[in-house]
Amino acid sequence: MNVKYSFLALTFLMLSACGNDPVPKPRAMLRLEYPPAQYETYKKESNYQFIKNTKATITKEKNGAFNLEYPFMKATLFITHKKVENNLDQFFTDAQKLTYEHVIKADAITEYPFVNPDDEVYGMLYGISGNAASQFQFYITDSTQHFLTGSLYFYAKPNYDSILPAAAYMKKDIQKIMESLRWEK
């Protein structure tokens, strides 16, 4: 008798489980949101100053180089300052070479020139699209005494679609640095 009731219960469960056909769920997209940027002035020794995001912390200051760490984004903006001493052409070549080394993995490299003649600040921001190691590279100079370079890297395997929101956020921060940079006279 137990077998008979078990068979009936199993049959009932199988028949009652039939119903609507399963519908696949749509693909979920990750929505990355970052806190609104707030800025403060950062003064580097007596050479220059700029406005930086308050969420970024400065680490590893040494020989004109330092890092702007963005822990909430797992990103670092590596910045180096060099003194111009009849070597400006070499600095330009090195900055451009570093950027265009990413051309192997990049889909495109977009140049955004920056010119502020009133404050003697000239530079170039390179936006690197695709699965390259760095999404942004830049340099700024006064063309006589100072040359500053920067490179953005995320602590993740390059997947451009995934880091695009973070890269857009960082582009605004880099542009803010370039626009606010002032050399000490």
Rounded to 5 degrees, what angle do the CA atoms 178, 181, 185 make?
Answer: 150
Q: What's residue 76's pLDDT?
A: 95
Contact 103, 116 (CB under 8 A): no
**Residue 163 is assigned to a structural domain of this protein:** yes
Contact 68, 77 (CB under 8 A): yes
- Cα separation of the two ends of the chain: 100
Residue 167's CB is within 10 A of a number of other CB atoms, namely 20
**Residue 45 is assigned to a structural domain of this protein:** yes
Using CA atoms, how far residue 85 sits from 66, 89, 137, 138, in Å, is 21, 10, 23, 20
**Residue 114 is assigned to a structural domain of this protein:** yes
**Residue 105 is assigned to a structural domain of this protein:** yes
CATH number for position 132: 3.40.1000.10
Count of residues for the chain?
Answer: 185
pLDDT band at 115 (very low <50, low <70, confident <90, very high): very high
Q: What's residue 14's pLDDT?
A: 67
**Residue 91 is assigned to a structural domain of this protein:** yes
CA atoms of 83 and 161, how far apart (whole Å): 37
* The total number of structural domains that make up the chain: 1
Task: Determine which of 9-13, 33-37, 94-98, 106-110 has the lowest per-residue pLDDT on average.
Answer: 9-13
**Residue 16 is assigned to a structural domain of this protein:** no
**Residue 142 is assigned to a structural domain of this protein:** yes
Contact 153, 84 (CB under 8 A): no
**Residue 133 is assigned to a structural domain of this protein:** yes
Domain that holds residue 145: 40-183
CA atoms of 167 and 137, how far apart (whole Å): 12
Please tell me which residue, 138 or 184, carries the higher pLDDT value.
Answer: 138
pLDDT, tens digit, for every residue of 20-37? 666 777 776 666 778 899
